[in-house]
Chains A and B, each alone.
Chain A
């Protein structure tokens, strides 16, 4: 998924870029929401998770929310679709991709009365809000499950691109595993692609060959889980509950629960109390966005309980990256008692102790 090739950009926008204060936005009339997807609505991953949230929002709020799928990340494709929605009275446009950032920015200036929101985007304005989830929190919990279940103490992780938002899931996975099993190590391999089932499968098989018995992932397809099931080992999924594809192998998954974030957001927009943030919404575990689908019945109840306790601790404000944290070369990257800023997270360029691999 190309939705977030963003490390440098996010760091730049988080650090620099003249930030105006929070801006309040008032919608004219009742909210009418429409979604624009950059991929197929049943892509099995990112987009499907958004579509599932859309359906839950429809049910919860009793609205009819249309969508348009496969609108590629280019202005000439996005603009006519969005303008059509606007022409028929839709006034809350929900995007789906990093690549929509610029076009949404332009459109938000041209249509100041319309609210634009965009997951994985990087542009913001008085009527435009980008949002993303703190996936390191849910991946930390998956790491705990993996650490508790492994017998070889060797975990694997198939990652997409060596960007901050991917690397933070790898490191959190290792930290979670080590919290329950100090001997656990994580072998990470970056495939260099968001969505490449062939490479993901080959990588998973190579990891299993090396003695890895639980494989985590931050790539789009369930290929890793399927490979794990075939070889009789375990895995943990990403984006959606991947038990659907590998019911025997997938122990738990880091999943998107956007409806929990979007329903309050739409209510705010509707009541006129919506304020956009100049650097976007970065949604944590307690506020929707990301969560853990826990757990497969193979996982003992004691482990699941421990994971849910940690989940509550995170919701209550504990930071997964609370120092001291040392990288895999022995250098301290987060001092004792400190936590990294959001900008530090987006710019994460280290692997923590116990992670075997290179950025």
Chain B
């Protein structure tokens, strides 16, 4: 089109009149500044949420009360945050460990299910004396999670099969297997509902004596300590970092790349399996078809926000647990639709995630002059 060729490029006008944004990759960032950016993202997310909640008819004063006071400074509120975050910590760690070696484990829910299946096998077939039941359940759950991720790990290492696809698809296989069991051989004979029979008292995680907080929290905290030591203090942690940064260079430097990936990924599966165990033994007290729902993406999100740092995973999981608990509260007390609650949770998380942009780039505003 001749007209078009004659006109000056559209961008030129804009550049002269408005100036332009210039992004510069940061080489490093101070802790305070980093925290400030995250707080900024969190603030925007909360501001949007508050606006939405007020539009839905919740009073501003009540919002602060629900989201802060009654969630973190109230016995029942805090205890439910701690209960919510126990499995979240484990799936967050699971994602962080795998992502550290650049293995995109999208199959957390599948491994979670296999953990729950492992625990259920011990529970419903009453394997071993009651005193050892819980320990056996945890071990078999971790083995279950490990076995479910081992094939994608081997396929990736040996044949270069894309783990995003293989782990993702195995989620559906695990889910369908669970359905097969709960609609079939393991269906509760008492009420014919599609879930396994309930676990006995010896097969449930004991309470810690403060509200309904259970031993799962201790297991999660122990896992944080273990993974922190492994990733930040051990030789294996250095290998993981090296392999994650540049596997070819790592290989050239004589690091056992394949074994490092396999062990890290295996640990990831075992942690997801442990999350399935905690969910089954502490909250559901049986195998159900929906128990893993949402934990895969929660784990990925937590690891992303925590930048694969195990201690940060603990903090982020606690915050996300708080967000879930607060969401439940507003849903209960203001009869809000579930969709609105999910929307608010998503907005807060997205804003925090988006603040990562400011952490990575320095933004300059160049006025007029630039061409």
Contacts and interface: CB of A to CB of B under 8 A. Distances in A.
Interface in A298-356: none
B191 A102 contact: yes
Q: Of B193, B195, B212, B332, which is in contact with the most chain A CB atoms at under 10 Å from its CB?
A: B332
Interface in A103-150: 122
A75 B335 contact: no
Nearest to B195: A74
Nearest to B75: A87
Interface stretch (A62-70, A196-204, A265-273): A62-70
Interface of A: 2, 5-9, 12, 34, 40-41, 66-70, 72-76, 79-81, 83-85, 87-88, 98-99, 101-102, 122
Contact of A5 (B193, B283, B285, B331): B193
Contacts of A6: 191-193
A40 B338 CA distance: 8
B283 A75 contact: yes
B190 interface: yes
A74 B332 contact: no
B328 A80 contact: yes
Interface in B170-203: 190-195, 198
Contacts of B76: 83-84, 87
B80 interface: yes
A72 B288 CA distance: 11
A80 B212 CA distance: 10
B332 A102 contact: no
Contacts of B190: 9, 12
A84 B290 CA distance: 22
Contacts of A72: 290
Interface in B194-226: 194-195, 198, 212
Interface residues of B, number: 28
Contacts of B83: 80
B291 interface: yes
Nearest to B198: A102
Given A5-B192, A7-B192, A8-B192, A69 B279 contact: no
B284 A76 contact: yes
B80 A80 contact: yes
A98 B80 contact: no
Given A66-B335, A68-B335, A88-B333, A101 B191 contact: yes
Contacts of B135: none
Given A74-B195, A74-B288, A84-B333, 20 more contacts: A6-B193, A12-B190, A34-B332, A68-B328, A68-B331, A69-B338, A70-B337, A73-B193, A74-B291, A75-B283, A75-B284, A80-B83, A80-B325, A81-B331, A84-B329, A85-B332, A87-B76, A98-B191, A102-B191, A102-B198
